[in-house]
A and B are shown apart, each in its own frame.
Chain A
């Protein structure tokens, strides 16, 4: 077979990027490259020919520990009402009994004012 048939030439890299300095890193796609440097070149050519980009990360796929299918399906079964505001929906009615409106998220956070 030819030079590329060996599994050690191309490796899979996962590409992450952020649009602006203030943006979070976002997953883009994967690519094949023989090393990190070419992976960056390929990432730029493959995914950012037009869209603006503030930073690019390439990560070797073999260095990523992903959840297995069983682990991912396990996530669906978690019921975490007690961690979320929807678990406290009854408060609105309670405060009304005291002739008070329940604070909204903006009230609690100070409405964004300092």
Chain B
């Protein structure tokens, strides 16, 4: 940075250079700081998708609140559902502050979700027909989310990093809640073990897809290179997927469960997990709203939004009357 020039007197080019210097020096960018539009757009895309995924992600587990097998499990899964909604609140707040200069707010995020413009994670388009699914979601879907979220704790955007810090603190509870469910089932009777195995079979491909394609050749677009340059993230999709496999495959096997991919193995020479690549066309279909449960979940969200409209209107008119 030119020490003799005040920030507001810099040219756009100098501001950009100064911005990149700050990022390279490990400084955190704040909401009101100057930032390239490209950086803002990358953040909005990433964080709005993350926030909406938290909210949509609460829905498959919410289905199990009335059907949880014991009162303790009911309390724990209710707490988790509430946490996920809380995470959504935090992240939407971060996204909104970035969108404000563009004249947009939370309403636009919700409308983008309803119109299909805003996507959410592939895993939350899937059905959760048994209690085994509730266990696999908390253990492995949250496990996958923890890997990608902790990677972004050092993100260059300060407010996102602070939100993730709060979120990750609660994920530890979620992971143990999941471990508790799957261990109980794994140690249960034959029917319970089979239920757990069926859930794993149902979720395995979705879990591999969770981290996204290896490169843009798989789906036609990828923002990971740009996001790494801006230090929004530090690892590639494939590096995260490998971490996930290293962390969880030995445990899944230790429980005597079978992973539905007979090609899965660790290549000692390459020090990499080899697995059957998911069908990335199917992934594309799922995240564009054509997954097994996409329509039902979106309708539920839309209904909930419409059914609570009167509350927002009542509060709004009360405020106007007070003025």
Contacts and interface: CB of A to CB of B under 8 A. Distances in A.
Contact of A32 (B34, B86, B106): B106
A46 interface: yes
B178 to A, nearest CB: 18
B93 A34 contact: no
Given A69-B32, A73-B7, A4 B86 contact: no
Could you say which of B30, B82, B89, B97 has the most chain A C-beta atoms within 10 Å of its C-beta?
Answer: B89
Contacts of A5: 105, 107
Contact of A49 (B83, B97, B315): B83
A12 B100 CA distance: 12
Nearest to B316: A9
Interface string B1-39: 101001110000000000000000000001011100000
Interface string A66-80: 101110010001000
Nearest to B312: A3
B217 interface: no
B96 interface: yes
Contacts of B65: none
A70 B7 contact: yes
Given A32-B106, A70-B8, A49 B316 contact: no
B295 interface: no
Contact of B163 (A12, A29, A35, A49): A29
Nearest to B79: A49
A105 interface: no
B198 to A, nearest CB: 33
Contacts of B83: 49
A8 interface: yes
A66 B106 contact: no
A80 B315 CA distance: 51
A13 to B, nearest CB: 10
Interface string A21-42: 0000000011110110010001
A103 interface: no
Nearest to B87: A46
A6 B312 CA distance: 12
Chain A interface bracket (under 10, 10 to 19, 20 to 34, 35 or more): 20 to 34
B319 A34 contact: yes
A69 B27 CA distance: 13
Contact of B315 (A6, A29, A34, A50): A34
A5 B86 CA distance: 22
Nearest to A27: B162
Interface in B291-323: 309, 312-313, 315-316, 319
Contacts of B30: 69
Nearest to A8: B319
A9 B90 contact: no
A12 B83 CA distance: 21
A91 B8 CA distance: 43
B162 A29 contact: yes
Could you say which of B6, B86, B107, B319 has the most chain A C-beta atoms within 10 Å of its C-beta?
Answer: B107
Interface of A: 1-10, 12, 29-32, 34-35, 38, 42, 45-47, 49-50, 66, 68-70, 73, 77
7 contacts: A3-B316, A5-B105, A12-B97, A29-B166, A35-B315, A66-B32, A69-B33
Interface of B: 1, 3, 6-8, 30, 32-34, 79, 82-83, 86, 89-90, 93, 96-97, 105-107, 162-163, 166, 170, 173, 309, 312-313, 315-316, 319
